[in-house]
Amino acid sequence: MKETNMSDITAQLNATPVVSDLKSLREVTWFNHGVKPVSEGLQQVGLTREEAEDAERRLQRFAPFIAQAFPETAPAGGMIESDMIAIPRMQEKLAERAAISGALWLKKDSHLPISGSIKARGGIYDVLAHAEKLALGAGIIRAGDDYRVFHTPAFRRFFSRYKIAVGSTGNLGLSIGIMGAALGFHVTVHMSSDARQWKKEKLRAHGVEVIEYAEDYGMAVAQGRRAAEADPACFFIDDENSRTLFLGYSVAGLRLHRQMQQKGLTVDAQHPLFVYLPCGVGGGPGGVAFGLKLVFGDNVHCFFAEPTHSPCMTLGMSTGLHDAVSVQDIGIDNKTAADGLAVGRASGFVGRAMLPLTDGCYTLSDRTMYDLLAMLDRSENIQLEPSALAGMAGPWRVSASPDYQHLHGLTPEVMRRATHLVWATGGGMVPDTEMRLYLEKGKH
Ligand SMILES: *Cc1c(COP(=O)(O)O)cnc(C)c1O
Q: Which of 276, 341, 422 to mutate to test the pocket of ligand 1 (most atoms within 8 A of CB)?
A: 341
User: How would residue 443 be classed by pLDDT, with cut points 50, 70 and 90?
Assistant: confident
Q: Which segments of 184-242 does DSSP mark as H helices, in order?
A: 197-205, 217-229
Please identify, by atom number, the ligand 1 atom nearest to the C-alpha of residue 385: 13
- Packed helices 283-296 and 243-262: angle between N→C axes, nearest 10 degrees: 50
Q: How far apart are the first and last CA of the chain?
A: 45
∠ CA(358), CA(350), CA(228), 5° rounding? 160
- Alpha carbon of 364 to ligand 1 centroid (Å): 15
Q: Is the CB of 272 under 6 A from ligand 1?
A: no
Cα→Cα distances 283→240, 289, 296, 352, Å = 7, 10, 19, 12
Please identify, by atom number, the ligand 1 atom nearest to the C-alpha of residue 427: 13
Q: Is the CB of 280 under 6 A from ligand 1?
A: yes
φ/ψ (deg, to 5) at 305: -115, 135
CA-proximal residue: ligand 1, atom 3 (nearest)? 340
Q: Which segments of 230-365 does DSSP mark as H helices, in order?
A: 243-262, 283-296, 312-319, 348-354
**pLDDT of 2 strictly over 60:** no
Alpha-carbon gap, residue 420 to 398, rounded angstroms: 10
User: In this predicted structure, which of 124-138, 172-186, 190-204 has the lowest mean pLDDT?
Assistant: 190-204
Spell out the residues 6+ positions from residue 222 whose beta carbon is closer than 8 angstroms to its own: 167
- Alpha carbon of 221 to ligand 1 centroid (Å): 15
Q: Which CATH number fits domain 119-243: 3.40.50.1100, 3.40.50.10740, 3.90.550.40, 2.60.40.1080?
A: 3.40.50.1100
Please identify, by atom number, the ligand 1 atom nearest to the C-alpha of residue 279: 9
360-364 vs 29-31, strand pairing mode: antiparallel
- Alpha carbon of 111 to ligand 1 centroid (Å): 14
pLDDT, averaged across the chain: 96
∠ CA(89), CA(90), CA(94), 5° rounding? 120
Percent of the chain whose pLDDT exceeds 90:
92
Read off the pLDDT of residues 222-268 as tens digits, 9 standing for 90 and up.
989 998 999 999 999 998 899 999 999 999 999 999 999 999 999 99
Cα→Cα distances 418→97, 274, 410, 441, Å = 19, 7, 10, 32
Burial class (CB in 10 A: 0-12, 13-18, 19+), 330: middle
Read off the pLDDT of residues 334-379 as tens digits, 9 standing for 90 and up.
999 998 999 999 999 999 999 999 999 999 999 999 999 999 999 9
The region that residue 320 occupies, defined by phi over 0 for left and psi between -120 and 50 for alpha, beta otherwise, is left
Beta-carbon count within 10 A of 133 CB: 12
Read off the pLDDT of residues 4-38 as tens digits, 9 standing for 90 and up.
788 889 999 999 999 999 999 999 999 999 999 99
CA-proximal residue: ligand 1, atom 13 (nearest)? 426
Please identify, by atom number, the ligand 1 atom nearest to the C-alpha of residue 304: 9
pLDDT recorded at residue 444: 56
pLDDT recorded at residue 114: 95
Which one is predicted more confidently, 216 or 18? 18
Domain 6-50+67-115+245-442 has CATH 3.40.50.1100: yes
From-to residues of CATH 3.40.50.1100 in the chain: 6-50+67-115+245-442, 119-243
CA-proximal residue: ligand 1, atom 10 (nearest)? 278
∠ CA(34), CA(37), CA(42), 5° rounding? 100
CA-proximal residue: ligand 1, atom 11 (nearest)? 425
Q: Is the CB of 41 under 6 A from ligand 1?
A: no
Q: Is the CB of 104 under 6 A from ligand 1?
A: no
Please identify, by atom number, the ligand 1 atom nearest to the C-alpha of residue 285: 9
**Residue of 289, 246, 327, 326 lying closest to 32 (CA atoms):** 289
Rounded mean pLDDT, 197-223: 92
Alpha-carbon gap, residue 149 to 166, rounded angstroms: 26
- Alpha carbon of 86 to ligand 1 centroid (Å): 22
User: Which pTM value belongs to this model?
Assistant: 0.97
**Residue of 303, 299, 370, 297 lying closest to 338 (CA atoms):** 370
Q: Is the CB of 248 under 6 A from ligand 1?
A: no
Q: Do 100 and 401 meet the contact criterion of CB atoms below 8 Å apart?
A: no
